[in-house]
């Protein structure tokens, strides 16, 4: 089975490489290597599920991150606009 090579700072901006032929041995040694990604948990309202990496433990996991107030308001506005468009008001 091929390895998945994961690069990034652990919290943001992860890059997943599935084709090891694109990497040098040095790059491979700097990546977190896993055989497969963990199963993504079910999505809960008000949360995003984000892939994280712990380089020290060579571990990849999913973390739930609560939506910010701005994200919640943006979603509510989008939903309201959708209702207005569907109702023919806009």
Domain residue limits, the chain: 4-86
CA angle 36, 15, 50 (to 5 degrees): 70
Angstrom distance (rounded) from CA 83 to CA 90: 9
pTM over 0.85: no
Provide the CA 58 distance to its chain's centre, in angstroms. 17
Whether 8 and 50 have beta carbons less than 8 Å apart is answered as: no
Angstrom distance (rounded) from CA 41 to CA 57: 21
pLDDT in tens, the chain (90 residues): 689 999 987 677 899 999 999 899 999 999 999 999 999 999 888 888 999 999 888 899 999 988 888 877 888 899 889 888 888 776
- Residue 46 has a pLDDT of 84
User: Partners of 52 in the beta sheet?
Assistant: 61
Q: What is the DSSP letter of 19?
A: -
- Residue 4 has a pLDDT of 95
Q: At 28, is the secondary structure helix, strand, or coil?
A: helix
Task: Collect all residues with Cβ–Cβ distance below 8 Å to 81 and sequence separation of at least 6.
Answer: 90
């Amino acid at each position: 089975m091929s390895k998945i090579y994961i690069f990034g700072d652990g919290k943001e901006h992860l890059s997943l490489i599935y084709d090891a032929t694109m990497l040098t041995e040095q790059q491979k040694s700097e990546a977190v290597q896993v055989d497969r990604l963990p199963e993504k948990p079910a999505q809960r309202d008000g949360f995003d599920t984000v892939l994280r990496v712990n380089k020290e433990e060579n571990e990849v996991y999913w973390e739930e991150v609560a939506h910010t107030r701005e994200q919640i308001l943006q979603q509510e506005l989008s939903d309201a606009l959708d209702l207005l468009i569907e109702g023919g008001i806009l």
